[in-house]
Structure 1
Amino acid sequence: MKSIQKSSAILTFFILIFGLLTINVSAQSHKSKIDALLKKYKEYEQFNGSVLVADQGNLIINGGYGMANMEWGIDNDADTKHRLGSITKQFTSMLIMLLVEEGKLDLSVPITTYLTDYPKTTGDKITIHHLLTHSSGIPNYTSFPNFFNEKSRNPYEVDVFIKEFSDMALEFEPGSTYKYSNSGYFLLGAIAEKVTGNTYEQELDDRIFTPLKMANTGFDHHATILKKRATGYQKNGSNYSNSDYLDMSIPYAAGSLYSTADDLYIWDKSLSEGLLLSEENYKIMMTGYIKAWGGSYAYGWGVRNVYSEKKKDSVMEYSHGGGINGFNTLITRVPAEKNVVILLNNTGGAPLNEITVAINAILDDKPYDLPKMSLADALLETFNDDGIDKGMAQYDELKNHNEYNLDEGQMNRAGYSLLQSGKVKEAIALFTINVQEFPESSNPYDSLAEAYLADGQKDLALKNYKKAFEMDPKNENAKKIIDELEANK
């Protein structure tokens, strides 16, 4: 009997060793494939930043690609500090839920309960729940005409900046639909300050960052000397420039934070382990309430059901991106798989959703797409250096080329790069291509209209603004310009 038990124990031991070796080989294979994928994105200048990937609780990738600072040749790494943009919103949401848990806030009462100076005609209809779910109807201040040119560089006190949008009419009845609004999250920071008597920044430090030992996360003040802070760049074809200045009092509770891939991994694990909130309030925070993003929107998170190859069942995926001058970011979590993908890019405009899809396909041993070169970047360079005729010839040559990808957003950015550099005719040509390639999207028409207006071709500007507004009736800027153009006929 002892011999049989001994043999069984030895067999079990070797099975365990074999299993661990198999897992290790699989993890190494995944690591090499993801690394090769990210290097290809870097080669094509479509990603430059920090990456962390964990799967089934195992850290697969944790490092950097490209430069944190191009002037000094300093590499990105896992502890490089990047501006988060709207990933900030999940920290704002957690702060609000911690105050709810302490009985200091009620999700269902009007915001005028806490912001007593806010106009009651609209404020009495809006609850904190509406702010958290982008269903308040408050116009989004970052979408205001000329916002970035006229407002974004100036420092504002919180109460003063609220007046920039508080008197505006609501875009819809609160709770009736979803429309992304940084204004709503700005108000959440103000509410937290009102009920605690502390600054938004201090409350985050005291309630979230210090308890979780997230020592490399905080409110990004321009004047602060911050070690290992990445510089934000914007890409124009194959060239880079420093991103436009943005005073960080403007994004505030909607997008003012910086962090690292390492710290966001701590954040991910704290959510999975329920370290800050009770189970009941965590469920309230992470439940999807209103249709958005191909799923629904919770409090600071997009939520959707996805099929898990590992579980052979549907599981919940939680994600949120961010975009702020010179940076774009994305965190995607599948807690049931102990899976998280964190992408922090400091050249703006990287296809982070596309990269995340490919990474998760690799982790599931499924086919995935390698990146292609950007046709928009190639066209921008040619239109800029060699003119319209050669640019159009290059477009005809490369548009069906398998190694190039034509992306609507990249084309739009390329067109604006030409427009802002004074090459209006070239911008019109590039925007026209974008309209032809993406005729079912409103934004290319809007951009083409702006270029025509800059060129003095008011009839064509009006025609395209009307098309943009017809396709997107919420485009208030288009409606305003249409009214102005028709009034001056």
Structure 2
Amino acid sequence: MKAFVAAALIWATPAAAQSYHDIVAAAEGFNGIALVAKGRHVEMIESVGSADAERGIPVTPTTRFETGSVSKWVASIVVLKLVDQKKLDLDAPVSRYLPDYRADTGARLTLRRLMSHSSGLPNEILKARQADPAIRGVEREQMDAVRTYASGDLAFEPGTAWDYSHSNWLVVKAVVERVSGLPYARLIDRLLVRPLGLKDSGIYRGDSAQTAGMAVGYAKLGPAPERKPNPTPDFLAMAGGYYTSAPDMLKLMEAVLGGTFLSAASRKALLTVEMPDQHYALGGRVRVEPVGGHPRELAWNDGSNGGFRMVARRVLADGHSVIVFNNASYDHRKLGELASKLLDASYAPRLAQ
């Protein structure tokens, strides 16, 4: 039997709240949290199941979750804040910021190409981790990681094709840390966490279960829970090292997509699709999909790592948003379907207040 914890503050009518609850309750095997909002107003937030099954700790509205590849979208926001501060240029050659990087490719690569996975830089970190799982979680100094995993010959001319390569983000992180003079975790705190008043967000390293307030990632729950950690070394923090809670994720989405946290030019850059066949912009996707019976343009972000899965969607025109986290290896397709049903429900006529 599922254990549900409803949020204390919701803006939905009782009928709408029941509709949301029924949708979450029907998602067999779901363990995590679901949030629906209109702009900054939370319509529903519902927690289901265990954050830490062995210790009997339930999921609550402030439970922290790994975001997986949504870390790339967060990293793009950090880069664009530095662009707004005139410290970075999306279209300058990487060699301007990393003169010690491989000279021939450094002159051809830009942050825009790296952040849209259109650089041609091969995913050597993935190949290395697949060949030797023992290196997962092994720390390296950032430029050492760049030289080892992100300095290969380009697979194609930058901007001509798309390849989802974690190695891109090793170079971006090296640039950001070199220009700012700060470790990425401290930069996240300075540029995002403190200005936005985020209470449950930051960068973890290694096994995220060692971070206070974090959910544990599981391969399965049940009578004998099986953990599924996938340690993230600090040099991969931009690719998958960000953690947050559902309310904090909403606050970030509202500030960036519905507010003035970024300049108009940087917000446009974040949402401009660079690779149309993949709907890929900078660090995330922008798609037009049917929502509530009409085609709508959405910021579209998905992430996974170890036992964690997440989906975040926001309709750009009016701020209808859904955020769903799971920490028990829930099928990502089913998680997307759950998110879609909740977002559709936010447009149902019975929600008029």
TM-score by length of 2: 0.87
Deviations 1:154-207 (A, max 9, x none): 122211111222332222111001211111122211111011111111111111
Do the aligned residues in 2 keep the contact of 1:67 with 1:73 (CA within 8 Å)?
yes
Tell me the residue number matched to 2:328.
Answer: 347
Tell me the residue number matched to 1:61.
Answer: 44
Do the aligned residues in 2 keep the contact of 1:274 with 1:282 (CA within 8 Å)?
no
Tell me the residue number matched to 1:455.
Answer: none
Q: In structure 2, which of residues 23, 26, 43 is the aligned counterpart of residue 40 of structure 1?
A: 26
Letter in 2 for 1:284: A
1:144 to 2:127 alignment: yes
Letter in 2 for 1:139: P
Tell me the residue number matched to 2:156.
Answer: 172
Do the aligned residues in 1 keep the contact of 2:40 with 2:250 (CA within 8 Å)?
no
1:243 to 2:219 alignment: no
Describe how 1:99-248 pairs up with structure 2 within 5 A. Answer: 99-144=82-127, 146-147=130-131, 149-222=133-206, 226-235=211-220, 240-248=225-233
Tell me the residue number matched to 1:317.
Answer: 298
1:288 to 2:273 alignment: yes
Equivalent position SS for 1:300: coil
Matches of 2:300 and 2:315 in 1, distance apart?
9
Superposition deviation, residue 123 in structure 1: 2.1
Deviations 1:21-75 (A, max 9, x none): xxx8x7433322222222232xx32x21121111366422213111000001111
Deviations 1:397-433 (A, max 9, x none): xxxxxxxxxxxxxxxxxxxxxxxxxxxxxxxxxxxxx
Letter in 1 for 2:75: T
Matches of 1:349 and 1:182 in 2, distance apart?
23
Superposition deviation, residue 243 in structure 1: 1.2
Letter in 2 for 1:39: A
Q: Which has the larger radius of gyration?
A: 1
Do the aligned residues in 2 keep the contact of 1:287 with 1:298 (CA within 8 Å)?
yes
1:96 to 2:82 alignment: no
Matches of 1:237 and 1:75 in 2, distance apart?
14
Letter in 2 for 1:156: R
Matches of 1:102 and 1:188 in 2, distance apart?
17
Do the aligned residues in 1 keep the contact of 2:292 with 2:343 (CA within 8 Å)?
no
Do the aligned residues in 2 keep the contact of 1:286 with 1:299 (CA within 8 Å)?
yes
Counterparts in 2 of 1:242 and 1:93: CA distance versus 1, 3 Å: same
Identity of aligned residues (%): 26
Equivalent position SS for 1:297: coil
Superposition deviation, residue 132 in structure 1: 1.2
Counterparts in 2 of 1:226 and 1:154: CA distance versus 1, 3 Å: closer
Letter in 2 for 1:263: D
Tell me the residue number matched to 1:360.
Answer: 343
Deviations 1:196-249 (A, max 9, x none): 111111111111111000121001134896432111111399964111341432
Counterparts in 2 of 1:251 and 1:31: CA distance versus 1, 3 Å: farther
Do the aligned residues in 2 keep the contact of 1:142 with 1:148 (CA within 8 Å)?
no
Deviations 1:264-303 (A, max 9, x none): 111121123333211122112211121244xx21112201
Higher percent of residues as helix:
1
Q: In structure 1, which of residues 53, 61, 86 is the aligned counterpart of residue 69 of structure 2?
A: 86
Q: In structure 2, which of residues 297, 314, 319 is the aligned counterpart of residue 333 of structure 1?
A: 314
Counterparts in 2 of 1:179 and 1:222: CA distance versus 1, 3 Å: closer
Point out the more displaced range, 159-168 or 324-333.
Answer: 159-168
Matches of 1:362 and 1:136 in 2, distance apart?
39
Point out the more displaced range, 297-306 or 140-149.
Answer: 140-149
TM-score by length of 1: 0.64
1:264 to 2:249 alignment: yes
Letter in 2 for 1:152: R
Which of 1 and 2 has higher RCO (CA within 8 Å, sep 6+)?
2
Gaps of at least 5 residues in structure 2 are: 1-10
Letter in 2 for 1:316: E
Do the aligned residues in 2 keep the contact of 1:178 with 1:291 (CA within 8 Å)?
no
Tell me the residue number matched to 1:446.
Answer: none
CA RMSD, Structure 1 to Structure 2 (Å): 2.4
Equivalent position SS for 2:317: helix
Tell me the residue number matched to 1:28.
Answer: 14
Letter in 2 for 1:232: G
Q: In structure 1, which of residues 76, 96, 121 is the aligned counterpart of residue 59 of structure 2?
A: 76
Matches of 1:271 and 1:189 in 2, distance apart?
20
